[in-house]
Amino acid sequence: MLNALGRAFRTPDLRNKILFTLAIVAVFRLGSHIPAPGIDYKQVQLCQQGSGGQQSLLGLANLFSGGALLQLSIFALGIMPYITATIIVQLLTVVIPKFEQLKKEGQAGQTKMTQYTRYLTIGLAILQSSTLVTAVHNNPQSILGNGPACANIMTDGAWPTLVIMVLSFTAGTGLIMWLGEQVTEKGVGQGMSLLILVSVAARVPSEIWSIHTQGWGKFFLVVVMSLVILTVVVYVENSIRRVPVQYAKRMIGRRMYGGTSTYIPLKVNMANVIPIIFASSLLSLPVMVAQFTNPQTNPHQAAWATWVFNNLAKSDHPSYMIVYTVLNVFFTFFYVSITYQPDEVADGLKQSGSFIPGVRAGKATAKYINYVLTRITVGGAIYLAIIALIPLIALALVGTNQNFPFGGASIIILVGVGLDTVKQVDSKLQQHHYEGFLR
């Protein structure tokens, strides 16, 4: 790996791409520490120290923002509005015929889909920033924690300041989206994914090191567990099921063409980190609604709110773990079923004159691919459920949920995006090698 990195920096074109990417990453991390207008940064830091860490309700959003959300910086919303918009647009391709047609139009259709994603991202950013500003203004303890300094984090609560805060958070999301697109076009790797990787990786060193305050024995135990989990995740993320494909032979003139063999790669974890995001977001909704329920004014919902707070508001509760696991398994099958269409793959094989050995073309091929995909998804769903439970089990056993980054969405993002970026760098190195050889 170090040898490949050295060769990359010795290649002028690739070196410029890497340096450009690092510059964008530096700007992204700088924005995560610039406080929004109307926010007292010192009071926010005191609030965080007094509250004992991040709240589980906003833990995922704070993870994707690199800790900027609970610091109320201009990049507080992070990449979450874009992720949500991308998922919504992807799901709409199955529901809305126009979106499905755009998906089949190639580059032109993809450009329009990207434009729709940008518009939806800005709309979601306005909605989420308005909700965040309202919560910070009316009840900051519900967002930042119960520290004594949490009630005095705003320097001015007038409505012009609130409007400026909403515009600042929205503009920060728009800037992050632009930075990610610049990395994709002029840098190395997929821009948005790389920014998410940076957000997650920025918290790893401090969180691991903070565990040593609970004892060196627990610290070394967590390090060993992290290495084992990292090895397993790398192995599974690289695991694929190869469905063999044979191209039919054709006589053109006096020459024989075709007859080559290839395969359809089906990843074990085709859903990536999406099911964990869906499950965490859905579980946070009942808790959010229950926070607005006052048992004194609404006694009919007091029992329901109490049950939610006792069972779903605590991530180390068995009820939470069971529901969380079921949702992860369900969303894994749901997401794979709407994003991978065996019928389209079978039609593509038929049109290209290829086939799966021993399987008839057409519906039989689609049925066979769906059978293989379902079996793989079972293993992928169990794998995602186990990975998602790792931080919760760490909390229940050794009390290191807040400081255990190698589990859940974070470890899949670190490994998945890291492997993709390394593969792209290696591909560019091979391309440069062939170009130099041809010259």
Residue 141: phi, psi to the nearest 5?
Answer: -65, -30
Q: What is the pLDDT of residues 274-311, one digit of tens each?
A: 888 888 878 877 776 776 665 444 555 567 777 777 77
Check: CB of residue 272 under 8 Å from CB of residue 416: yes
| Residue 422 resides in a domain | no
Residue 187 and residue 323 in one domain: no
pLDDT for 53 equals 44
Tell me, yes or no, whether 431 lies in a domain.
no
CB 320 within 8 A of CB 280: no
Residue 81: which CATH number?
A: 1.10.3370.10
Same domain, 321 and 394: yes
Judgement on whether residues 175 and 285 belong to the same structural domain of the protein:
no
Could you identify the residue written with the tokens 């010192």? 42
**Alpha carbons 366 and 347: distance in angstroms, whole number:** 8
**Same domain (yes/no): 154, 220:** no
Residues 172, 220: one domain?
A: no
295 in any annotated domain: yes
Kindly state the tokens that stand for 212.
């040593």
Check residues 115 and 423 and name the one with the higher pLDDT: 115
Question: How many distinct structural domains can be found in the chain?
Answer: 2
Q: Are residues 197 and 231 in the same domain?
A: no
240 strand-pairing partners: 267
Are residues 196 and 228 part of one domain? no
> Residue 436 falls within a domain, yes or no?
no
Same domain, 150 and 291: no
Q: Answer whether residue 430 is part of any domain.
A: no
Same domain, 289 and 185: no
Within this chain, do residues 150 and 230 fall inside the same structural domain, yes or no?
no
Question: Is the pTM value of this prediction over 0.85?
Answer: no
Tens of pLDDT, residues 344-365 = 888 888 887 788 888 888 889 9
Same domain membership, residue 247 and residue 126:
no
Q: Which domain holds residue 130?
A: 1-202
CA distances from 61 to 18, 269, 316 (A): 28, 22, 19
Query: What is the percentage of the chain residues whose pLDDT exceeds 70?
Result: 79
pLDDT at res. 120: 92
Please indicate whether residue 207 or residue 160 has the higher confidence score (pLDDT): 160
Residue 426 falls within a domain, yes or no? no
